Chain A
């Protein structure tokens, strides 16, 4: 267990990437929205919040290349690397989700910063209870991180060409799926289904997808060289 803690500490040594950059990026997005919001009279609903989530995917991709070779050659087991990295992103996601809920509360309490800016309160995502809001924030971050982490793991295991291969296969699969949907004229049904998904259903679906990424990246890293 001590090694897992060691890996969490090693990750968090890079405070800039894990703890500060997400908020610097979100902060600049927020600043731009505040400026726009103060210039126009209408209510603004923006997607600026997405920036912090997308950043989680970036750190997922980057962290494999940055830390895997280093930690494996320092004698960490691949399993411990994986557990430690998962623990790190789980901690960061919990912290970030709570912080987002707090700022969201402040946003409502200040009557949307006095300028009608809905930045931390996003229709649909933050419609539910506090717990459901926390759950969706948390799971989106975990999902995107592990999506990036799986991409990084593919690169680690099979290199650049392997990564191209994976994306080509994914692209083909999507093309076939789109074609079949069009051919059988099912787009209407697909759209109805998408529109009908509740936030909770979305979160649970993302959880399943996350577990797929987790399993894939663990399987790849078990066999990857440092």
Chain B
């Protein structure tokens, strides 16, 4: 597998605030990645550093094997659609689409026009007069039609209705199947995209919490529900990311695959074991009441 992005020990500090703190990961060619985390976790900062729009404080950063800053060979192959993308005030939707091929060599005009129809974008309207949803839609059109080898969407669907979001997922998968490339989706609407993602990175407080194949992750956590004492019994020695007692009952989320033996034991104890969605996992891992903890032995 070709490595598209290699990051090691990457940090960005603003004074005493560590927006990104010693993060390391790699992105491989032809995969859809999910960069997940809460607001202010450091997702956008990482993406800005990948595209040389802000400067790292320390660490190594390679995109397509090279340093991205002022590197035409690298920047040429990236399309980064920001949540807060700014456009010149006088620009109409049409102008943005006319200018895009000058910067994205793989630009597909037909695809762009088809997407404009799909999202019902008014070509002649000025960008600053667009609603939040339409502004997002323009970003999506540019992001997909650019067919950049590394395409990064930062919260691409702010303000988009459910129909338009589904449209985005459909078109993304369709075009991705025909023209494989590396796609990074940064979002907090995790449930909606969890089926798209092949690999998940979870960021919290500037640190990388999780870097795992989505497939592995799906079976990698379980919810255990039952009488509190028995649940505690069962949890001994396991990695717990969430614990919610109610009355004499308790629900706990356990990280790690459960063996057949363990499952049998749970049944014996009268506990119920259920799956955990990606969203729940991320919420628990990055939730306010502390991170994961080791259960008392």
Contact = CB atoms under 8 A, between A and B. Distances in A.
Interface of A: 2-3, 5-7, 9-10, 13-14, 16-17, 66-67, 69-80, 222-223, 225-226
A75 B99 contact: no
A66 B75 CA distance: 21
B102 A75 contact: no
Nearest to A10: B99
Contacts of B100: 74
Contact of B104 (A7, A13, A75): A75
A74 to B, nearest CB: 4
B55 to A, nearest CB: 7
Given A13-B91, A75-B79, A225 B103 contact: no
A193 B186 CA distance: 63
B253 interface: no
Given A6-B103, A225-B53, A77 B70 contact: yes
Contact of B72 (A10, A17, A77): A77
A126 to B, nearest CB: 33
A226 B69 CA distance: 12
B203 interface: no
- Decide if the interface of chain B is mainly helix, strand, loop or mixed: loop
B78 interface: yes
B88 A66 contact: yes
Interface residues of B, number: 28
B54 A13 contact: no
Given A75-B76, A78-B70, A13 B95 contact: yes
B102 A10 contact: yes
A223 B100 CA distance: 24
Contact of B53 (A3, A14, A67, A226): A226
- Decide if the interface of chain A is mainly helix, strand, loop or mixed: helix
Contacts of B98: 13
Nearest to B77: A75
A136 B262 CA distance: 87
A70 B102 contact: no
B85 A73 contact: yes
6 contacts: A3-B72, A13-B98, A70-B87, A73-B51, A74-B100, A225-B54
B75 to A, nearest CB: 4
Given A70-B86, A73-B82, 13 more contacts: A3-B102, A6-B102, A6-B103, A9-B99, A14-B88, A66-B89, A67-B88, A70-B87, A74-B103, A74-B104, A75-B79, A79-B70, A225-B54
